[in-house]
């Protein structure tokens, strides 16, 4: 058991009354944004909340928030870009389907999937389509070049949308859910149905198994220097070392933020080795990797659900979060 955190930041959190399951949170510039499961995209402005409904009355299933736009995919099969001025535009429409996964690269490319079908859209708006061997569960761009990683049953694939070449396949038996690429592009990591992580070193496709979790790992976050991968799914944030050539192979992970509640969200600070940890009881801690010091951000409140969204702004001064029961808040570091 960890001792109670010495310092509290709870006085620096501004609550936001959201009222619906928060799917994802983030910032457009300095402005906090929340994408809600019921279909709302909410911009948190100085003078209050601006609520928009980019998908009409349809629910949002997946969302990706970037410095200049909010991308959402809905039950209406539409992929929509929303801007802080309240305007929105449709980027894709898969009639009669749900959008299962959605991602974007910092350089303006994006991709989404429905069932086995993937659409990649480059920064100029050019679209390429591809069918995966089975339903695509996760999408992530590699940091360099226009290359997309997607997870599916029995592994993952790496695809250059502008090339006719068959995607490179990474094989491992089982159902792969979320996918993430390391900031240096050396590793691809997926979370699996059986409460494990699987990784591949791309240089030689060497497999890495990271197991021992009591629940599915639905949140992954890389440290700013790319040396650590923090994960949810246990009653401590499990942080794997990826600094060395071999990644975490043969090395034990670090653990921090041990509490008697499972972790649902993790988010590394954008320029320090500080991890924001969100729990199933809606508590939030900050944990400094160097000395394991903990700071309390949010005291758990009964009936407010689990932390489902957690994101820092670019400077690392502010963090916006939300829960499955519609609570949300904005932390501004003193």
In whole angstroms, give the CA distance from residue 138 to residue 93.
Answer: 19
Q: Site size for other proteins, by CB under 8 A?
A: 28
Q: For residue 10, give the 3-state DSSP assignment.
A: helix
The binding track of 60-79 with respect to other proteins, each residue x by CB under 8 A or -, is -x-------------x----
By CB under 8 A, what part of segment 11-30 binds other proteins?
20-21, 23
Buried residues in 96-126 as b, exposed as e (16+ CB within 10 A): ebbbbbbbbbeeebbbbbbeebbbbbbeeee
Q: Is 334 in the site for other proteins (CB under 8 A)?
A: no
Strand pairing of 7-8 and 294-298?
Answer: parallel
Q: Is 174 in the site for other proteins (CB under 8 A)?
A: yes
Among 5, 19, 31, 38, binds other proteins (CB under 8 A): 38
Q: Is 96 in the site for other proteins (CB under 8 A)?
A: yes
Can you read off the two tokens belonging to residue 148? Answer: 């997309």
The binding track of 132-151 with respect to other proteins, each residue x by CB under 8 A or -, is --xx-x--------------
Considering beta carbons, is residue 32 or 322 the nearer one to other proteins? 322
To the nearest whole angstrom, how small is the minimum distance from the Cβ of residue 80 to other proteins? 17
Query: To the nearest 10°, the Cα dihedral for 16, 20, 26, 28?
Result: -80
Q: For residue 143, give the 3-state DSSP assignment.
A: coil
Q: Is 175 in the site for other proteins (CB under 8 A)?
A: yes
Among 51, 116, 186, 317, binds other proteins (CB under 8 A): 116
Q: Are 88 and 81 in contact (CB under 8 A)?
A: yes
Can you read off the two tokens belonging to residue 66? Answer: 């970037």
In whole angstroms, give the CA distance from residue 13 to residue 18.
Answer: 15
Q: Is 59 in the site for other proteins (CB under 8 A)?
A: yes
> Which residues of this chain interact with other proteins, rule CB under 8 A?
20-21, 23, 37-38, 59, 61, 75, 96-98, 100, 115-116, 134-135, 137, 153, 173-175, 192-195, 215-216, 324
């Amino acid at each position: 058991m960890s001792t109670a955190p010495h310092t509290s930041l709870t006085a620096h959190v501004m609550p936001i009354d959201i009222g619906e399951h928060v799917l994802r949170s983030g910032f457009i510039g300095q402005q906090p944004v929340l994408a809600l499961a019921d279909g709302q995209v909410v911009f948190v402005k100085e003078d209050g909340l601006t609520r928009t409904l980019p998908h009409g009355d349809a629910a949002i299933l997946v969302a990706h928030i970037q410095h200049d736009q909010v991308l959402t995919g809905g039950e209406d099969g539409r992929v929509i870009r929303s801007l802080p001025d309240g305007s929105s535009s449709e980027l894709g429409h898969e009639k009669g389907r749900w959008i299962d996964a959605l991602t974007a690269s910092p350089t303006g490319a994006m991709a989404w999937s429905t069932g086995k079908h993937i659409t990649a859209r480059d920064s100029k708006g050019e679209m390429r389509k591809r069918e995966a061997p089975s339903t695509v569960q996760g999408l992530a761009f590699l940091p360099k070049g226009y290359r997309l990683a997607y997870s599916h049953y029995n592994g993952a694939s790496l695809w250059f949308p502008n090339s006719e070449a068959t995607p490179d396949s990474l094989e491992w038996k089982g159902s792969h859910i979320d996918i993430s690429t390391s900031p240096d592009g050396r590793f691809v990591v997926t979370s699996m149905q059986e409460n494990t992580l699987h990784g591949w070193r791309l240089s030689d496709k060497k497999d890495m198994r990271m197991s021992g979790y009591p629940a599915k790992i639905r949140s992954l976050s890389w440290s700013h220097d790319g040396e650590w991968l923090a994960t949810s799914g246990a009653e401590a944030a499990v942080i794997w070392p990826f600094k060395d050539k071999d990644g975490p192979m043969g090395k034990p992970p670090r653990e921090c933020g041990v509490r008697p509640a499972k972790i649902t969200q993790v988010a590394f600070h954008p320029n320090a080795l500080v991890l924001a940890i969100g729990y199933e009881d809606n508590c939030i801690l900050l944990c400094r990797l160097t000395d394991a010091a903990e700071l309390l951000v949010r005291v758990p409140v009964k009936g407010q659900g689990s932390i489902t969204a957690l994101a820092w702004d670019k400077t690392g001064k502010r963090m916006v979060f939300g829960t499955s029961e519609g609570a949300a808040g904005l932390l501004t570091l003193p």
